[in-house]
Structure 1
């Protein structure tokens, strides 16, 4: 079962059939993510084929790691064909977050 952890804290967990693998990253469905540990970031980014990205900073205890999670709230419709699924709102993690 794919799990995203940071400093021993589980940030997201879902069955393999619930996650999506996109460009080497594991995207967790919104219902599998501990949103209480995420803080919306103002960092702007637009992927040429996925669309406008929403970054999140991750908080565990007193530590906040900027922009370690991201999602695409409203991906381009053409991206659904490329991925093979609607990944709106799915969340992926980066750097210090361990996904396994």
Structure 2
């Protein structure tokens, strides 16, 4: 699977985990050059607190377009150390 935005490959892996129709990529499969920290956070009743990354490709910013669970609840332990995408990021085979 590949995560693509603005013609850049943000992440690529044959080892994604699908949860609620989102592919979670291993953290070591992301191209860090496109990721910026974010102060955004949300909470999920069964996964826990999500933290976000913004994406910057060719000077364009996609704010809070990737998320991860640094300390997931037990039911979501299988997505620890993984990153998922939204906001126009295409996930394709």
TM over 0.5: yes
1:16-43 per-residue CA deviation (whole Å, 9 max, x = no partner) reads xx11000000000011111221111111
For residues 89 and 39 of structure 1, the distance between their equivalents in structure 2, rounded to whole angstroms, comes to 17
Indicate the residue corresponding to 1:11 in structure 2: 10
Q: Secondary structure at the match of 2:76?
A: helix
Say what the alpha-carbon RMSD is for the aligned residues: 1.0
TM-score between the two structures when normalised by the length of structure 1 = 0.86
For residues 41 and 17 of structure 2, the distance between their equivalents in structure 1, rounded to whole angstroms, comes to 23
Paired residues of 2:36 and 2:55 also in contact (CA < 8 A): yes
Structure 2 residue 35 is the aligned partner of structure 1 residue 43: no
Q: Secondary structure at the match of 1:58?
A: strand
TM-score between the two structures when normalised by the length of structure 2 = 0.92
Q: Secondary structure at the match of 1:56?
A: strand
> By how many angstroms is 1:44 displaced?
2.0
Gaps of 5+ in 2: none
> By how many angstroms is 1:9 displaced?
0.5
- Runs of 4+, deviation exceeding 4 Å: none
1:93 to 58, 71, 85: 85
Give the number of the structure whose residues are more often strand, by fraction.
2
For residues 49 and 17 of structure 2, the distance between their equivalents in structure 1, rounded to whole angstroms, comes to 18
For residues 68 and 33 of structure 1, the distance between their equivalents in structure 2, rounded to whole angstroms, comes to 13
Gaps of 5+ in 1: 81-85
